[in-house]
Amino acid sequence: MKILRWIWRLLWKTTLWFLGISIGLVILYRFIPVPFTPLMIIRVFEQAFDEKREVRLYKDWVSIDEISRHMPQAVVASEDQKFLDHRGFDFEAMEKAWEGNKKGKRVKGASTITQQTVKNVFLWPARSYLRKGLEAYFTVLVELIWSKERIMEVYLNVIEMGDGIYGIEAAAQYYYKIPAVKLNRSQSAMIAAVLPNPIRWKPSKPTGYIRGRQAWILRQMNNLAPVGFGK
pLDDT tens across 18-56, in order?
A: 999 999 999 999 999 999 999 999 999 988 888 778 888
CA distances 134 to 115, 121, 128, 180, Å, are: 10, 12, 10, 32
Radius of gyration of the chain (CA): 19
Domain edges within the chain: 37-49+57-223
Residue 107 has pLDDT above 60, yes or no: no
Question: Which residue, among 142, 154, 152, has the nearest Cα to 33 in the 3D structure?
Answer: 154
Q: What amino acid is encoded at 98 in this protein?
A: W
Q: What is the pLDDT of residues 120-136, one digit of tens each?
A: 999 988 888 999 999 99
- Determine which of 49-58, 139-148, 156-165, 209-218 has the lowest per-residue pLDDT on average: 49-58
Residue 97 pLDDT: 65
17/90 Cα distance (integer angstroms): 30
> What CATH code would you report for 37-49+57-223?
1.10.3810.10
- Residue 14's CB is within 10 A of a number of other CB atoms, namely 10
Model confidence, pTM: 0.92
- Nearest-angstrom CA–CA distance, 104 and 212: 25
pLDDT of residue 154: 98
Sign of CA dihedral 86, 119, 207, 98: negative
